[in-house]
Amino acid sequence: MKEQLERGDILLFDTREAEKFAEGTIAGAVSFPVDSTLAEREALLADVPRQMPIILFCSSNRCLYADDIARFLRYNGYENVAIYREGMAGGER
């Protein structure tokens, strides 16, 4: 995953709240907070091709924020969406 991020082959979205993201995240992740507004989400996705592979994560495998964002993305035509279930608990900072 790290090599794919460095090449720009995938996007990694941290779905936790912005405050948690600011405290630290997995290297290469972009903040896509579960509590973001529709306008914020649209701005974040403005230049993201619908076929781009996207990986979402949250705090741990018990956190459902990534599932919420995955539903939103799929509803809006992004079909290459996966969830990194280990989340922050298993990621490199």
Q: What string of pLDDT tens digits covers the 93 residues of the chain?
A: 778 887 778 999 999 999 999 999 998 999 999 999 999 999 999 999 999 999 999 988 888 999 999 999 999 999 999 999 888 877 554
Q: What is the pLDDT of residue 60?
A: 83
Q: What is the pLDDT of residue 15?
A: 97
Task: Report the C-alpha gap between 23 and 78 in whole angstroms.
Answer: 28
| Secondary-structure class of domain 2-90 per CATH | alpha beta
Q: What is the pLDDT of residue 91?
A: 58
Q: How many residues does the chain have?
A: 93
How far from 18 is each of 2, 23, 27, 56, 67, CA to CA, in Å?
Answer: 22, 9, 15, 15, 17
Q: Would you list the domain boundaries of the chain?
A: 2-90
Q: What is the pLDDT of residue 93?
A: 47
